Structure 1
Amino acid sequence: MISAISWVPKGASQPVPSVADLPSKEEIEEIVQSGAFDTIGNSYEEMDGGNNQHDSNDEEKDDDDDDDGDHKSGKDVNLSNDKYEDITDGLKELDMDNYDDEDDGIELFSKGNGDRYYPSNDMDPYFKDKDDDEDSEDLEDLTIKPTDSVIVCARNGDDGNHLEVWICEEAVDGELNTYVHHETMIFEFPLCMAWLDCPLKGGERGNFIAVGSMEPSVEIWDLDIIDEVQPCMVLGGIAEKKKKKKGKKTSIKYKEDSHTDSVLGLAWNKYYRNVLASASADKQVKIWDVATGKCTITMEHHTDKVQAVAFNHDVRPVLLSGSFDHSVVMKDGRDPTHSGYKWIVNSDVESLAWDPHNEHSFVVSLEDGTVKGFDLRAATSNPDSESKPSFTLHAHDKAVCSISYNPSAPNLLATGSTDKMVKLWDLSNNQPSCIVSKNPKAGGVFSVSFSEDSPFLLAIGGSKGRLEIWDTLSDAAVSRRFGNHSSHQARS
C-alpha cells in the first residue's frame, strides 16, 4: 500500500544525489542493539494480519482491474510430476554429458584480429568505449533535471517499508514518463509524511522528508542521499525498553518530550522553516524545532487520537488539528495556552486542508464519507456555541482519507476515498458540485495531492501500492471550467 504522498518542489533536489557511505561496524551494531530489526518482524506480522483482513473484505476486491491477476491468492506454486518430466526431457535434449565434445569441421577458436590480447580493458578500444558509455548512461539515469517533478511515496509491501523517490518527466507526445529513481528502506510502517527544506546540514536550503510511523517518533531523511540506512535526525522516540522479570510485559522509557504512541499526521511551516507539527494517537499535538531536534510546545486539547494537522498559508503560526473526538481545533502558536477555536463534526476526522486562496476557509474530510467546509469569520470561542459549516458535502460512500486543494485554480478540490474513487469538486459559492469522478485503479485511496509546480497533476496512492498520476486538465469538464488557470503560476 501507499499510505502517503509528498511532492518535492522543482529544483530542490540535487541534480545528482550522492551515494551513502557504507555503515561502519559500530553503526551496524548500534542499529541492531536499537531493536530496529525487531520492528521489521512486527511490521510483517501486522501486515500479514492486515492482508488477511483485507482479503476477507469486499472493499479490496476489484474484479474489473486487469492487474489483479498477478496478486490473486489461493494459487500455490507447486511442481507436479508432469512439470518434473518436462524438465527431464529438456535436460536430455541439451545432452549435457557431451557438451564439451567438439563437432568435426567446426573451428572453435578463431585466428583473426579478435584474438589480440590487451593487458587491461582501458587499452582495449572495445571495452574502453563500452565502459565510457555505461558510465555516461548511469550518470544520465541518476541525474534529476530541473524540469523533473519529484514525488516521494511511503510504501509498505511484502519486501518491507520504503520511501520511494519517483521522477515524473515532462510530457512527451501527451504521455507522462514516471519511474522510481531510488528508494530507501525504513524500519517502521509509514503513516504520514511532510517535505521540508530546513538546512539541517548547512547551506541555505535542504531537501528532507519527515516520516511519521507506528512508532512514537518522527524520522527525518535526506532525499539527496541514495542507499542511506539511517535517518539524519529522529524527533522523540523510545529511549529504552526493559522486560520485567515476572510476566511478559515490557516497560518503556521515552525520550524527553516524545510522543508515546503512533504519529498520525505531520505539517511543515514553510515560513518558519525549522518548525514542524506532529499529531499522534497519544491525543497530543507537538511543535518541534528541527534545527535543534527539540519539542518546543506540547498541546493536549483533544480527548482522542489526533489524525491531522495543517498550518495556515497566510497567518503563519496558526495551526489546525483534527481528531477522532469529532472535533477540529485552531490554535495560535504564539499563545498555545489559549483554548483556541473548536468546530464539532459528526465523525472521526480523516484529513483537513486550508484553502490556499482564502485564509479564512478550510475543509475537513470525515470517516463517514462527508466533507465539511468552515469559515473562520463564523467561528466562536464559546464552547457552548457550535459553529455551523459553510457546506456539507456527501462526497463518498466510505471514508474520505485525503483531500487536496488545487494551488492554481480557486475552488477546485480533490477527494480520495476507500471506496476506490477520486473526485474533483467545484466549491464555488459554497455550493459544491462534482466535476468528474474516476476510479484510478489504485484500490482504496489513502492519499491524493496536487503538485505546486504543475498544478493540474494529481498524485494518487492507495491499497494496491502503485503510484498513479492523473493529468486532470486532460478531462474535458475540468478543462472547460478551470482551463483558464492552466497558464497561471502556482502559489509560491
Structure 2
Amino acid sequence: MIAAISWVPKGVSRSIPAVAEPPSKEEIEEILNSRTFERSEESENEDHDEDMVVDAAKQGDEVAHALVAADALGKASLSTTSVPFQDIADSLRELDMEHYDEEDDGVELIGTGIGDAYYPSNDMDPYLKDQNDDDSEEFEDMTITAEDAVIVCARNEDDVSHLEVWIYEDPADGDSNMYVHHDIIIPAFPLCTAWLDCPIKGGEKGNFIAVGSMEPSIEIWDLDIMDEVQPSVVLGGISEKKKKGKKSIKYKKDSHTDSVLGLAWNKEYRNILASASADKLVKIWDVATGKCDITMEHHTDKVQAVAWNHHVPQVLLSGSFDRTVVMKDGRIPSHTGFKWSVSADVETVAWDPHTEHSFVVSLEDGTVEGFDIRAAKSDQSSESKPSFTLHAHDKAVCTVSYNPLAPNLLATGSTDKMVKLWDLSKNQPSCVASNNPKAGAVFSISFSEDSPFLLAIGGSKGKLEVWDTLSDAGVSRRYGKYSNRNIS
C-alpha cells in the first residue's frame, strides 16, 4: 500500500544524487541498537545471532540484515558444529586452486577468427560500443533534470517499508513517462510524510522528507543521497525497549509515546515541523536542533492531522478522534485557542491556500465540512456551525487536497476507491469530476505546486497514479482558463 505522497518542487533535487558511503560494522551495530527490536532474555544465548537476523529482516533494513547474517555465518564457520575441515580441504584439493593459472599442455586457447580482430578505437568495437550505449542510457535515467517532477511515496510491501522516489516526465508531445529513480528502506510502517527544505546539513536549502510511522519517532531522510541506511535527523523515539527481562519502555526526552499520524512543515519558518500522534499530543519541533520546542495537550483522543495556515504561518490547526478541530495561534501563546466540534472522527484538515480564514475537515463517515474562522465563537461552550457540510463519499474521506492555482477546487479521496473534484464556490459544493483511479482504497492525494492540475494518488494497491485532471471535460471547461497561469 501507499500511505502517503509528497511532491518535491522542481529544480530542488540534485541532478545526480550522491551515493552513501557503506556503513562500518560499528555503524551497523549502532543502527541495530537504535531500532526498537523486541529481544528476549534468551537472545544472549546461542540463538542471539539468528534472532538478530530475523529482527533486521522484519525491520526491512537490507544492509543491516546482510551484514548481521554474514557475521552470524562467520561465527558458524568457526564453531565445532560447522562443516568438517577435512571436507573443505578435500574440495579445495579437487579444484587444484594452486595451479589454476598454469596452461595445460596440448590445449589451444580459443582466440581465432573475429575474436582476434583489432579495432582502432573503442567506438568501432561493437562490444564496447554497446556497453557505452548502456552506460549512457543508465546515466540519463539517473539524471534528474530541472523539468522533472519528483514524487515521494511512503510504501509498504511484504512487510518491507520504504520511500520510493519517482520521476514523472511530462514532455510537450503529451507522452508522459514515470519510473522509480531510487528508494530508501525505512525501519517502520510509514503513516505520513512532509517534504521540507530546511538546511539541516548547512547551506541555503536542502531536500528532505520527514516520515511519521507506527513508531513514536520522526525520521528525516536526505532525498539527494542514494543507498542511505540512516536518517539525517531523528526526532524523539525510544531509547530503551527492554530492561532486565521486564517489559519497560524508555523514551527520549520530549518524544511522542505512540504512532505519529500527521506531519506539517512550516514553509515560512523553515526549521519548524508540527506533528500529531496517537498519544493525544501535538508537538512543535525544531529540526535544525532536533529538539521539541512546544507540546500541546488540547485533545482527549488520538490526533490525526495538523496543518499550518498558508497566510499566517503562526496559526496551526489540528484534528482528532475526539471529534474536534482546534486552532492555536502562536502569536498568543496564552490563548486556549478556538475549537470546532464535528460529526465523526477527523481524518484530515486542510487550509484553503487562496484565503487565510477558511479550512476543510474530512471525516470518517464520508463527509467534508467547511469552516470560516471569522465565525468562530470565543466562548468554548458555544457551537460554531460549519459553512457547509458535503456528503462526499460512501466511506471515510482519508485525504483532501486544494488546487494551488484554481480557487475553490478541492480534491477528495476515500476508502470507497473514488477520487472526486469539487467546486466549493459560495459554500455550495458541486461535483465537477469523479474518477476511479484503480488504486484501491485511496489513502493519499496531492496536487502538484509546479503543475497544479496533476493529482498524485496512492492507495491500498500500492501503485502510484497521476491524474491529469484537465483531461476531464468538466474540469477543462470550468478551470481551463487557469492552465496557462503561474502560481503567484
Q: Quickly name the TM-score band, shorter chain normalised.
A: 0.7 to 0.9
1:422 shift after superposition: 0.4
User: Does 2:460 match 1:459?
Assistant: no
Calculate the aligned-residue CA RMSD, in Å. Answer: 2.4
Aligned to 2:87: none
Kindly provide the amino acid, as one letter, of the partner of residue 406 in structure 1.
Answer: N
- Kindly provide the CA deviation profile for residues 231-275 of structure 1, in whole angstroms up to 9, marking residues without a partner as x: 010000011122454xxx511111111111100000000000000
1:463 shift after superposition: 0.3
- Kindly provide the CA deviation profile for residues 453-485 of structure 1, in whole angstroms up to 9, marking residues without a partner as x: 000000000000000000000000000011111
Kindly provide the amino acid, as one letter, of the partner of residue 351 in structure 1.
Answer: T
Aligned to 2:335: 338
1:134 shift after superposition: 3.1
Matches within 5 A, 1:21-40: 21-35=21-35
1:130 shift after superposition: 3.8
1:203 shift after superposition: 1.0
Aligned to 2:473: 476
Aligned to 1:368: 365
CA distance in 2, matches of 1:198, 1:127: 47
1:46 shift after superposition: 12
Counterparts in 2 of 1:42 and 1:214: CA distance versus 1, 3 Å? farther
CA distance in 1, matches of 2:290, 2:59: 30
CA distance in 2, matches of 1:381, 1:23: 55
Aligned to 1:196: 196
CA distance in 2, matches of 1:337, 1:214: 32
On the 8 A contact 1:454/1:490 being kept in 2, the answer is: no
Kindly provide the amino acid, as one letter, of the partner of residue 278 in structure 2.
Answer: A
On the 8 A contact 1:161/1:189 being kept in 2, the answer is: yes
Kindly provide the amino acid, as one letter, of the partner of residue 443 in structure 1.
Answer: G
1:205 shift after superposition: 0.8
On the 8 A contact 1:299/1:336 being kept in 2, the answer is: no
Residues matched between the structures, number: 427
CA distance in 2, matches of 1:123, 1:424: 54
1:198 shift after superposition: 0.3
Matches within 5 A, 1:69-80: none
Kindly provide the amino acid, as one letter, of the partner of residue 418 in structure 2.
Answer: M
Matches within 5 A, 1:149-164: 149-158=149-158, 160-164=160-164
CA distance in 2, matches of 1:206, 1:5: 19
CA distance in 2, matches of 1:408, 1:117: 62
Kindly provide the amino acid, as one letter, of the partner of residue 115 in structure 1.
Answer: D
Aligned to 2:211: 211
CA distance in 2, matches of 1:19, 1:177: 24
Aligned to 2:279: 282
1:138 shift after superposition: 2.1
CA distance in 2, matches of 1:231, 1:35: 12
Aligned to 2:174: 174
On the 8 A contact 2:216/2:257 being kept in 1, the answer is: yes
Comparing 339-348 and 108-117, the one that deviates more: 108-117
- Kindly provide the CA deviation profile for residues 115-167 of structure 1, in whole angstroms up to 9, marking residues without a partner as x: 2489xx97994444344333322211110011110000000011600100001
Counterparts in 2 of 1:160 and 1:45: CA distance versus 1, 3 Å? closer
Aligned to 1:115: 116
TM-score (normalised: structure 1): 0.83
Match of 2:176, SS? strand
The runs of 5 or more residues in structure 2 that have no matched partner are 40-52, 61-108
Match of 2:347 among 350, 362, 365: 350
Kindly provide the amino acid, as one letter, of the partner of residue 294 in structure 2.
Answer: I
On the 8 A contact 1:288/1:297 being kept in 2, the answer is: yes
Kindly provide the amino acid, as one letter, of the partner of residue 142 in structure 1.
Answer: M
- Kindly provide the CA deviation profile for residues 170-207 of structure 1, in whole angstroms up to 9, marking residues without a partner as x: 14532321111111110100000000000011111100
Matches within 5 A, 1:354-433: 354-433=351-430
Match of 1:314, SS? coil
Percent identity of equivalent pairs: 72
On the 8 A contact 2:216/2:258 being kept in 1, the answer is: yes
Aligned to 2:220: 220
CA distance in 2, matches of 1:46, 1:218: 16
Counterparts in 2 of 1:113 and 1:43: CA distance versus 1, 3 Å? closer
Aligned to 1:136: 136
CA distance in 2, matches of 1:479, 1:43: 50
